[in-house]
Structure formats: structure tokens, C-alpha cells
A and B are shown apart, each in its own frame.
Chain A
């Protein structure tokens, strides 16, 4: 059954692509609006082979990686700290729940004013957008550590470090993985969006630049690159998360 579903899914996606390709070739869709998918793929290949995008790819990857590391480590540290103080956690709950309701990107100009132009405000945007997902997931994971295990740890007189490494961390691992997945996805989205809105380097910026200069084919080639990387990355992260959940029997 899942086999058939996956076949059908690929058929639908490929069929949609073929329909767009045919529409473009037949002139139903103007090349100024959307070039044929094959032409976009060729243009992307050309851009990658010539190294014209190398600098932007490096900038954006560095921003995303830095933001993800800050979001994941900071989110776990803050999650552990907040979990240790129940009173603080009760007070913070509504703020955590409302965090993603705020249209976060309106703060980007504030960040630019604070951190200056360059990569710092972009990394800050990404890290702050991702960190709360990680905090929420860490709290979730810590809540689900079985009490029996913690009692056992006390019986064996394990120190706090041994308890953390041998009991808490393995028990919370699947939920932490969900947090890591969300944090990286959110960092990716925030970095690209910040580069797109107001920046002078990176892949998000090159899309905006190509759009403003009517370089339609180049623009779509970069869009394709980002979509392909993002879908692959999310797929890999989801597979790791599912494997962690299955090992736990969840």
C-alpha cells in the first residue's frame, strides 16, 4: 500500500511538471512569466558549473549553519533551564505559545538598525526564529522522561551529569530531534526571507536582484536550487526524526 501511494505520488508530481513543460513549449505560458522547467534546470546547471553562484551559496549556507547551531544549542540550554524552574515555566507558557503568531519579519529592520548591514542581523533573525521551536520541543521531551527512570537514577545515586547523559537525554531524544528538525527548517526560511527583503548578498538577495533586473531565467534557476535543497533537507530531517520515534516505539 505505501509502495503504491509513493508510485502514485511520483506520477502526480511528474505529471504536473510535464504539464507545465508542455504549456511552456506550446506557448500557453509566456517565457517571461515562467520558463519551461527543463530550461530552468539547464540554467541552474550552467550557473552551478560556472561557479557564478558559489559566493552566494557559501554566504547563505554559512548563515543558515550558524543560525541553526545557535538555535539548537541555545534552545536546548534554555529548555533545560526553564524546565528546572516550574514557576518560570508557568509564567512563560503563554509567551512561548504566542511567539510564532507575531509576524516575525517585521522585526528585521529593527535588527538591521541594531546589528548593522551584513550577515549579523540575518543570522540573528534565523537563530531567533528557530530557537523557540527548539525550546518548546526540549520542554516537551523533558516532560516525557518517565518518573520511574528518574527514581531509579536516584536509587543508584547517579549524579546530575550521569542522570542527564544516561537517563534524560536518551528518553527525550526523539522530541529533541523534532525540535532540531523544526529549528533548522525555520532557520532556513528566516535566512532566505531576510536576505530577500533587505540584504546585499546571499541566495535570497540574488533572487530579489534578478527579479528587479528582469533576469527571469536566472531568478527561477536560483528559486529551483533553494526549493530542491529545502525539500531534500526537510526529507532527510523527517527521516531521521521518524527513525528516532520508531526506535522509541512512538
Chain B
């Protein structure tokens, strides 16, 4: 209870700082109140929803691609010790690179539009999902594998009934990071060389110095991102506790 009150106090303090900055330079930043009003206005405006839908679509496609490809690569590489030793450092190196430098290449391959955003979003999250899956499969106790061979399970059966459930906590950890990075990738994609989507909306608002729209869209994105993260964080810690 005390902790909850403390957390509410932290949120209030952050809002107060925001309001304080607004008082110091009213033209630089819309106030929390004005931003809240703008959020309501945007949610009721028909011009807003196509942008939200565009970003949502790109996010869902990118996540679907990154999860299926990352999971498949992680399971294949993780099942072999040699493959993990060879590929893990390569994947980790690419994971640590500033992905934004590769965006021009993606734009040249896919052209402007949805496919480029999807590819860029997927590029952000494929590597953490693959790396966490490899780690999850590698951590499998050898007893499990021996049990599978004693019971003469086929490859597919071993995967479905043993490997996947055992690696699930790690996979969900990777998924949590992947979800955040997919959204990040899609939005960066929209902030550069794009004609639609919430990232584009922010950049146009910047162009015409409409700080209310800029803050409103930013605040909504942050809220959605935190909500998704809280759900996955709960799932993640309950799975890790069970294991």
C-alpha cells in the first residue's frame, strides 16, 4: 500500500516537472493538461485513426515476422552446440550495432512505404528473440533430452512437448524485449522518409511547431508501450518463478 502511494507520488512528481518546464518555456512544451485535451481530441478525430492503423499494422506484421523467424533460427541454432558457439557471437554483434545505419539499405530494397517499416521493425527484434531462444534451448537439462530419447519421441514431438515448454520462460523474456524494439524500429522508420503513421505524425507536428499534437502522440505511444511491457513482464516473472 505504501509502495503504491509512493509510485503515485513519483508519477505526480513527473507531471509536476513537466508542468514546471511548460511554465518556464510555454512555447517549447505543451502542458500536461493541454496534452490530455489534445489526446481526447485526436482520439475523436477521423484523421488520426488511419495513422494509428498504419503504425499498428506495421507493428503486427513486423512482430509476426521477427517472432517466427527468430524462434525458428533460435531453435535450430540452439539445438546444436557447435552452431550455438559459432553463431551466438555473430548474432550478438549485429544486435549491438546501431540499426539505424541499415535503414537506407532497407529503403533502397523495399522502397518507401509499409514493407520498409515492417522490415526495419523486424530487423530490430529478430536478434534478441533468436538470442534468448538459443539461450533457453541451451539451458535445457540433459536429463530432458535423454528422457525424450528413452521415450522414442520424434523430433517434432520432442520440440513440441519438451524443448518449447522448457525454453518458454527465456522465449518470453526475448519476446518482451522484441515487442519494445519492434515498436521502436517501426517508429524510427516512420520518422524518416515516411508519409503515414504515428512517427510521421510526430515529425509533421514538429515541422509546424504543433507541440500539443507532438506531446499527445508521444504520450499515447509511451502509454501503449508501457502497458504491453507490464503484461509481458507479469507473464515473464510468473513463468520464471514456476521454473
Binding site for B on A (CB under 8 A): 1-2, 4-5, 8-9, 12-13, 32-34, 87-88, 90-92, 94-95, 97-98, 100-107, 109-110, 112-114, 185, 188-189, 192-193, 196-198, 204, 207-208, 211, 216, 219-220, 222-223, 226-227, 230-231, 234-235, 238
Contacts and interface: CB of A to CB of B under 8 A. Distances in A.
Given A98-B229, A109-B214, 15 more contacts: A12-B86, A88-B6, A91-B7, A92-B10, A95-B10, A101-B179, A102-B222, A103-B183, A105-B191, A106-B218, A110-B215, A114-B25, A204-B101, A208-B104, A226-B101
A109 B85 contact: no
B90 A105 contact: no
Interface in B199-228: 199, 202-203, 205-206, 211, 214-215, 217-218, 221-222, 225-226, 228
A34 to B, nearest CB: 7
A109 B96 contact: no
Contacts of B188: 103, 105, 193, 197
Contacts, number: 154
B195 interface: no
A196 B9 CA distance: 37
A193 B99 CA distance: 8
A101 B180 contact: yes
B229 A109 contact: no
27 contacts: A9-B86, A9-B89, A9-B90, A12-B86, A87-B3, A98-B226, A98-B229, A98-B233, A102-B226, A103-B180, A106-B218, A109-B218, A114-B28, A189-B98, A189-B100, A193-B100, A193-B188, A197-B100, A197-B188, A198-B191, A204-B100, A204-B101, A207-B101, A207-B104, A208-B192, A211-B107, A227-B101
Q: Taking chain A's interface residues, is the majority helix, strand, or loop, or is none over half, making it mixed?
A: helix
Interface string B176-188: 1101100110011
Contacts of A192: 98, 100-101
Interface of B: 2-3, 6-7, 9-10, 21, 25, 28-29, 82, 85-87, 89-90, 92-93, 96-105, 107-109, 176-177, 179-180, 183-184, 187-188, 191-192, 199, 202-203, 205-206, 211, 214-215, 217-218, 221-222, 225-226, 228-230, 233
A175 B63 CA distance: 31
Nearest to B108: A33
B96 A230 contact: yes
Contact of A101 (B25, B28, B98, B228): B228
Contacts of A110: 29, 214-215, 218
Contacts of A102: 180, 221-222, 225-226
A233 to B, nearest CB: 9
Contacts of A92: 10
A216 B107 CA distance: 12
Contacts of A94: 7, 230
Given A94-B7, A103-B221, A192-B100, A8 B86 contact: yes
A109 B85 CA distance: 42
Given A101-B226, A197-B188, A230-B98, A91 B3 contact: yes
A185 B94 CA distance: 12
Contacts of B102: 223
B90 A13 contact: yes
Nearest to A216: B108
Given A114-B28, A211-B104, A107 B82 contact: no
A91 B12 CA distance: 13
B225 A101 contact: yes
